[in-house]
Amino acid sequence: MALTIHTNYSSLLTQTNLNKTNNALAVNQQRLGTGLRINSSADDAAGLQIATRLGSQSKGMAVALRNVSDASSLLQTADGAFGEMTDILQRMKDISTQAANSTNGADDRKSMQAEYDELGKELGNIMVNTSYAGEKLLGRTGGTGKFGAAMGFQIGASKEEVLTLNVKTQSEAVGTALGNVSASYSAPAAAGAELATSGSANTNIDKLTAALDAVGKLRGQFGASINRLAHTANNLSNMKDNTEMARGRIMDADFASESAMSSKNSMLMQSGISMLKQTAQMPQMVMSLLG
C-alpha cells in the first residue's frame, strides 16, 4: 500500500468499520433496553407485518373471551331463574296432586289454593323482573325481554365467529304455559280456583306437567349454549396463548444472544478506536522519508 499524505486509506477503512460497529452496538443496546427485537420497521419489515397481524388477532381473541364470559353469565342468570321456576312449578304440581284427593275438605283446599296463588305470583315476579345488567330478560309473556328476539354473541376475532341464540318461541311457550296454570300469574290481585274441586285440581296436574316441559325445553337450550360457550372459551384461550407465543418469537429480543453481541461489539469498538489512533500516525511516516 502506497504512503500518501492526502489519503489515509487505513484510517478511512477503520472509521467505516468503527461506524458499522457503533450502529450494531446501538441496536444491541436498544433491544436490551426495550426487550424487543423489532423496534422499528427497519429492523425486520416482514416480521413486523406478521407480528402486527398476530397482535391484532390476539387482542381480538382477548375481547372475544370477555364476550364469551358475559354471554355465559347472561345465560346462567336466565337458567338460574328458570331453575327456581322449575322448583316452584314442581311444588304447585305437588299441591295440585294433593288437592285432587277427595279426602280434602273445602277449608283444606282454600289453604292449598292460598299457597298456590302465592307461588303463581312469584312465577310472574321472576318472569317480569329477572334482568342482566339492568335489562329485562323474559317478560311475562316470554317474548318482550332480551330473549324476545334473536341474540348474537361475538365469540371470536373474525366476523364469522358469532353464536346466534333464538329462544323467542320457547320463551313465549313458557309464558303461555304459566298463564294456563295460575290465574294469579297474570293477575296477581285475583285469587285462583285451580284447586276448588278435586276434579279441577286433577285437570291442573296435566297443565303443570306441560309447563314443566316448556321450562325444561328452554333450559335445555340454555344449557346447550352454556356448554358450547365453555368449549369456545377453552379454544380461544388455547389459540390466544399460541398466537402470543408466535408473536413473541418474532418481536421479543433474545437477551442471551443480544448480550453476547453487545459484548462483542463493545470490544470491537474499543479495538477500533485504538487502531484509529495508530492510523493517524501514518502521514507522519511520510515525513520521516523527507528527512
**109 with 200: CB under 8 angstroms?**
no
Mean per-residue pLDDT for 145-169? 93
Which candidate, 256, 260, 248, 229, places its Cα nearest to that of 154? 229
At 5 the pLDDT is 66
- SS3 assignment for the chain: CCCCCCCCHHHHHHHHHHHHHHHHHHHHHHHHHHCECCCCCCCCHHHHHHHHHHHHHHHHHHHHHHHHHHHHHHHHHHHHHHHHHHHHHHHHHHHHHHHCCCCCCHHHHHHHHHHHHHHHHHHHHHHHHCEECCEECCCCCCCCCHHHCCEEEECCCCCCCEEEECCHHHHHHHHHHHHHHCHHHHCCCCCCCCCCCHHHHHHHHHHHHHHHHHHHHHHHHHHHHHHHHHHHHHHHHHHHHHHHHHHHHHHECCHHHHHHHHHHHHHHHHHHHHHHHHHCCHHHHHHHHCC
Q: Cell match 478506536: residue?
A: 273
Residue type, 212: L
pLDDT given for residue 210 in this prediction = 96
Is residue 134 predicted with pLDDT exceeding 80?
yes
CA atoms within 13 A on the CB side of 24: 18
The amino acid present at 277, given as its one-letter code, is: K
Is a pLDDT exceeding 80 seen at residue 187?
no
Residue 4: predicted pLDDT: 67
Q: What is the pLDDT of residue 236?
A: 94
Cell digits for 224?
Answer: 346447550
Strands 131-132 and 135-136: antiparallel
In which band, very low, low, confident or very high, does the pLDDT at 161 lie, cut at 50, 70 and 90? very high
Cβ(204)–Cβ(95) under 8 Å?
no
| 234-248: pLDDT as tens digits | 999 999 999 999 999
Q: Please state, in angstroms and as integers, the Cα–Cα distance from residue 179 to each residue in 15, 173, 195, following that order.
A: 93, 10, 15
Q: Are 93 and 115 in contact (CB under 8 A)?
A: no
56-83 mean pLDDT: 95
**pLDDT over 70 (residue 291):** no
Q: Are the beta carbons of 225 and 75 closer than 8 angstroms?
A: yes
Nearest-angstrom CA–CA distance, 191 and 140: 18
Is 60 exceeded by the pLDDT of residue 1? no
Average pLDDT over residues 11-37: 83
Instruction: Tell me what pLDDT residue 93 has.
Output: 97
Digit-coded pLDDT (tens) for 46-69: 999 999 999 999 999 999 999 999
Q: In the structure, what pLDDT confidence band is assigned to residue 12 with cuts at 50, 70 and 90? A: confident
Output 53 or 11, whichever has higher pLDDT: 53
Q: What's phi and psi for 169, nearest 5 deg?
A: -65, -45
Summarize pLDDT for 116-127 with one digit per residue, the tens: 999 999 999 999
User: CB-side exposure of 20: number of CA atoms within 13 Å?
Assistant: 7
**pLDDT band at 283; cut points 50, 70, 90:** low
pLDDT at 207 over 60: yes
How far is C-alpha 290 from the geometric centre of its chain's CA atoms?
83
Mean pLDDT over each residue of the chain, to the nearest integer:
89
pLDDT over 90 percentage in the chain: 62
CA distance 232 to 157: 12
How much is the pLDDT for 204?
95
Checking if the pLDDT of 188 tops 90, the result is no
Per-residue pLDDT, averaged over 18-44, amounts to 84
What is the rounded radius of gyration, in angstroms, for the C-alpha atoms of the chain? Answer: 39
- For the entire predicted model, the pTM comes to 0.79
